[in-house]
Amino acid sequence: MPFVNTQGPLPGMDFSVPDVYLQTTPAGPMPIPLMSMGMRATEIPTCLRTYVMCTPVHNMANIAPVTISGPGPGVASGMVCSNSRNILGSFKLFFQCMPATRSLMDPTAQNGLSPNSVGLTLSPSQIRVLCLS
């Protein structure tokens, strides 16, 4: 079910697998596939006029400033524990002139502007409002 993403009250999480990082070893840096996770509760809210379950809704302008990821820099992005953001939103539902983001449907870009991996919001942050568009 495509629930609208919000700040809470449930801990919505963005997962991406595999997220390849450079792990330092005695033989030099080695690429190792790991998992990256961004938390919806840490996102910087940009839509403060619409609330669902007493928390701000998320649109395409929201960015989680930090992801829980591997110990070294990403192979594609070269960044350590960078941001998580949605790269696709709803085509019909807009919050403050930006498309709404949905859990379980919209892909997320993890770890930087040139994403190290592409993931998905697998756990919804609220279970009251659906976005079927």
Domain boundaries, the chain: 13-123
pTM: predicted TM-score of the whole model, two decimal places: 0.81
pLDDT, position 101: 92
Q: Which residues contact 77 (CB under 8 A, 6 or more apart)?
A: 111, 112, 113, 114, 115, 116
User: ∠ CA 74-70-19 to the nearest 5 degrees?
Assistant: 55
Query: In which residue ranges of the chain is pLDDT below 50?
Result: none
End-to-end CA distance of the chain: 11
pLDDT, position 90: 92
pLDDT in tens, 72-87: 888 888 888 788 888 9
pLDDT, position 23: 87
pLDDT, position 1: 77
pLDDT, position 59: 92
pLDDT, position 92: 93
